Amino acid sequence: MNFGQKIWILDGGMGSTILEHHQLSHDNCTPNSCLAIESLSESNPDFIADIHRSFLNAGADIICTNTFNINQLAPAHDNLIIANSACKASASIARKVADDYMLSHPDRKVYVAGSIGPVSPSAEQADDCMMLHLQQVRTLFDCNVDILLLETVIDIVWADAVLDKIFEEIKAIQKPVSVMLSVHVDNQGQTVMKQSREEIKALARKYPIAAFGLNCGNGAASLVDEIGYYDDLPCALMVYPNAGLPDSDGKYPDSPEAMARTLAPLIAEGRINIIGGCCGSTPGHIKAISKSALNCSPRIISTENN
Ligand SMILES: [Zn+2]
């Protein structure tokens, strides 16, 4: 995929959009409750398909599969089956929605990104956890995603191990899948595991990723300057912030207009290639962002050192 031709619009927060309509809780992490969001792809596929469609109608070029938490289970045999079944259902829905959308909108090319959420396992959990990741990656490939999106990364060391496996798999299956890496950072630009900007950038340079991004964060304003630190990376740059931090009722403070306004300088100054929203961002947010990106030029991707 060539991310240099225009500003690509990523969709908004899948988990938060689902939670707005469903009373689900992650408090007791039994297999079924832990995958409560992802299991909806099996129990209520039309609901998940409608969310994907609403993001495409709002202007998203890339929709993410409902698979963010798939790797959160203890990998007992039964759990592997539960996780795989939810992953397959989620990826198949996104693929079908995207394919149908392109049939009814022949002027638009849209893509499916297989979402892989964050984990930071202990040394004892690492082998088991990698087994879940590998299963997830293979299922996403089988369901013909265009992109693998390792997102909301909280631990660079673990992300390194996962990327290593992902590129091994891509080599083995010989499919043209783009890999995107997106990290969640605090106001000091550090990961949850307190890894620095330098360490994050070193990881982004280590693999032939198509895009590097920052997501979630503490609202759009927190990421607008921060992404500038990564401007010399020889890949596409991506930002998809949350709509601010939620209040005690779970409501996100930033309106579509406020979020689009905050992100506008990145777009107007040609500093970004892919832009969208994370937790709390709705189709309304994506519509506002997509409108402000219309006819604007993307950041020029340098191929130096690539
Ligand atoms: Zn988020």
- CA 171 / ligand 1 centre spacing (Å): 30
Neighbours of ion ligand 1 (CB under 5 A): 216, 242, 278-279
- CA 279 / ligand 1 centre spacing (Å): 4
- CA 107 / ligand 1 centre spacing (Å): 31
Tell me what pLDDT residue 31 has.
61
The H-or-E segment that residue 175 falls in is none
pLDDT classification of 148: cutoffs 50, 70, 90 = very high
Q: Is the pLDDT of residue 28 over 80?
A: no
- CA 13 / ligand 1 centre spacing (Å): 7
Q: Is the pLDDT of residue 30 over 70?
A: no
- CA 221 / ligand 1 centre spacing (Å): 14
Coil vs helix vs strand at 226? helix
- CA 242 / ligand 1 centre spacing (Å): 5
- Give all domains of the chain, ordered by start, each with its CATH number: 8-293 (3.20.20.330)
Beta bridge partners of 239: 214, 275
Q: What is the mean pLDDT of residues 221-234?
A: 96
Tell me what pLDDT residue 236 has.
98
Cα–Cα distance for residue pair 253/77, rounded to 1 Å: 41
pLDDT in tens, 66-94: 999 988 877 777 888 999 999 999 999 99
Cα–Cα distance for residue pair 73/217, rounded to 1 Å: 25
- CA 219 / ligand 1 centre spacing (Å): 9
- CA 50 / ligand 1 centre spacing (Å): 20
Q: What is the mean pLDDT of residues 200-224?
A: 96
- CA 286 / ligand 1 centre spacing (Å): 14
Q: Are 60 and 286 in contact (CB under 8 A)?
A: yes
pLDDT classification of 213: cutoffs 50, 70, 90 = very high
Q: Is the pLDDT of residue 134 over 80?
A: yes
Cα–Cα distance for residue pair 201/192, rounded to 1 Å: 15
pLDDT in tens, 57-72: 999 999 999 999 988 8
Residue bearing the bigger pLDDT, 48 or 36: 48
Beta bridge partners of 181: 150, 212
Q: Is the pLDDT of residue 304 over 70?
A: no
Coil vs helix vs strand at 251? coil
Q: What is the mean pLDDT of residues 237-247?
A: 96
- CA 69 / ligand 1 centre spacing (Å): 12
pLDDT in tens, 151-179: 999 999 999 999 999 999 999 988 889 99
Q: How remote is the C-alpha of 26 from its chain's centroid?
A: 20
- CA 229 / ligand 1 centre spacing (Å): 21
Coil vs helix vs strand at 58? coil
131 Cβ contact list (under 8 Å, min separation 6)? 75, 80
- CA 271 / ligand 1 centre spacing (Å): 22
Tell me what pLDDT residue 306 has.
43
Cα–Cα distance for residue pair 30/74, rounded to 1 Å: 9
pLDDT classification of 26: cutoffs 50, 70, 90 = low
- CA 124 / ligand 1 centre spacing (Å): 28
Q: Are 184 and 149 in contact (CB under 8 A)?
A: no
- CA 270 / ligand 1 centre spacing (Å): 24
Q: What share of the chain is helix, strand, coil (3-state, %, to 5)?
A: 45, 15, 40
- CA 173 / ligand 1 centre spacing (Å): 31
244 Cβ contact list (under 8 Å, min separation 6)? 218, 219, 220, 252, 253, 254, 280
- CA 6 / ligand 1 centre spacing (Å): 24
Tell me what pLDDT residue 160 has.
98
Tell me what pLDDT residue 87 has.
97
Share of the chain above pLDDT 90, in %: 79
Tell me what pLDDT residue 20 has.
81
Coil vs helix vs strand at 124? coil
Tell me what pLDDT residue 184 has.
97
Q: How far is CA 224 from CA 79, 238, 272, in A?
A: 39, 10, 10
- CA 187 / ligand 1 centre spacing (Å): 15
Return the closest-CA partner of residue 136 out of 106, 162, 158, 110.
162
Tell me what pLDDT residue 29 has.
57
Q: Is the pLDDT of residue 305 over 70?
A: no
- CA 10 / ligand 1 centre spacing (Å): 13
Q: Is the pLDDT of residue 36 over 50?
A: yes
Name the strands in the sheet holding 147-153, side by side, starting at the edge strand that comes first in the sequence.
8-9, 274-275, 236-241, 211-216, 178-183, 147-153, 111-116, 62-64
In this structure, the number of other CB atoms found within 10 A of the CB of residue 284 comes to: 18
* Start-end of H helices in the chain: 14-21, 31-34, 36-43, 45-57, 77-104, 126-142, 156-173, 197-206, 220-224, 256-268, 283-293
Tell me what pLDDT residue 99 has.
98
